Amino acid sequence: MQWPTHPRELGLVTTAEAVMPVELGGLGMTARGVEWAVTSGKWQRLHRGVVLMHAGAVDWLTRAGAALLVCGPDAALRGPSAAVIHGLLPMPGASGRPGPSAAPIHVVVSSRRRPRPQRGVIVTHSDAARIIELWPWRTAYETTVVDLLAEGSPDAVTALLATALRERKTTVARLRAEAEGRQRLGNRQLVRDLLTEAADGVESPLGHVGDHRRFDRGFPEYRVVVELDGALYHQGATLAADRHKSNVAARHGWLLLRFGWIDCTRDACASAAEVAVALESRGWVGGLRRCGPTCTVERRRSTAS
């Protein structure tokens, strides 16, 4: 999408610019003229000192531009709002004027500034954020991605990182440098683990099946194989290759178990129970060992069967 390069392209203007002489880049209006345009419904006041020079619905991009204007010259979109501009998240739909029902606009300003609170605008203060100084100003791609990684759920973090790397707009090294450069970072261990997974390529070839296709773990004596589905790589051609690999395993009489990132981290005990049930169905007579005092593997194992 081609983004506007100036607020006027969206019909946005500050009241200070509206009354500024034309030769200085303003509209040359009087203060009464601006007030009449707003009170008559011809224009809309989106924030104190920021007006939209037409009536009707206000889309997300216009609200984002208005938020930048009201927060000052150094303001930039951040987090989910910057992610829209970078193509990481879809653009929210039109919601009329800023209000509780509209998706908030996330903005970052320097720590020295304290803009007046505005409805529908969430302001963060930072002197470390890297900014792309092209309107609409927004945080740099890596800064935006790491902001979202720090704030999201495990599933959302995994999906976002997959999208960022699949688009080839950044690299694992850049994201790691951005993450490690922060004194405070939510989801720090999860972000580190995922970036390590991405750097390593998520392959641990411990088993082979059929025509020597690699699986993540194999139990040849019971003809059971385990595949770890990293969202970072299971896309497009790789997804098709994995599907073919699964079909090969089935043709040779192997039982294939698939687990995702959450299965191997947050729900690791439940996943172990599923593997045990599968092995038992193929003749295994061993037993599971608890991973710690809080492990609920025995209870979970009964539900897996």
Task: State phi, psi for 67 to the nearest 5 degrees.
Answer: -65, -40
d(CA 121, CA 104): 5
Closest-CA residue to 218 (of 207, 231, 230): 207
Query: How deeply is 178 buried, as exposed, middle or buried, from its count of CB atoms within 10 A (0-12, 13-18, 19+)?
Result: buried
Structure confidence at residue 140 (pLDDT)? 97
Structure confidence at residue 99 (pLDDT)? 54
Find the length of the chain: 305
Q: Which are the contacts of 49, defined by CB distance < 8 A and separation ≥ 6?
A: 14, 15, 16, 69, 70
| 3-state class (DSSP) for residue 121 | strand
d(CA 178, CA 147): 10
Structure confidence at residue 75 (pLDDT)? 97
Give pLDDT tens digits along the chain (305 positions): 789 999 999 999 999 999 999 999 999 999 999 999 999 999 999 999 999 999 999 999 999 999 999 999 999 999 999 999 999 999 987 555 555 557 899 999 999 999 999 999 999 999 989 999 999 999 999 999 999 999 988 778 888 888 888 788 899 999 999 999 999 999 998 888 888 877 765 433 223 333 344 566 778 788 888 887 665 544 444 555 566 667 777 777 888 888 876 777 778 888 888 889 999 998 888 888 888 888 877 654 545 55
Structure confidence at residue 263 (pLDDT)? 77
DSSP run (H or E) holding 298: helix 297-304
Structure confidence at residue 212 (pLDDT)? 40
What are the structural domain ranges in the chain? 7-139, 141-200, 207-304
Structure confidence at residue 220 (pLDDT)? 78
The residues facing 218 across adjacent strands are 225
Position of tokens 């939510």?
A: 186
d(CA 230, CA 218): 17
Supply the pTM of this predicted model: 0.70
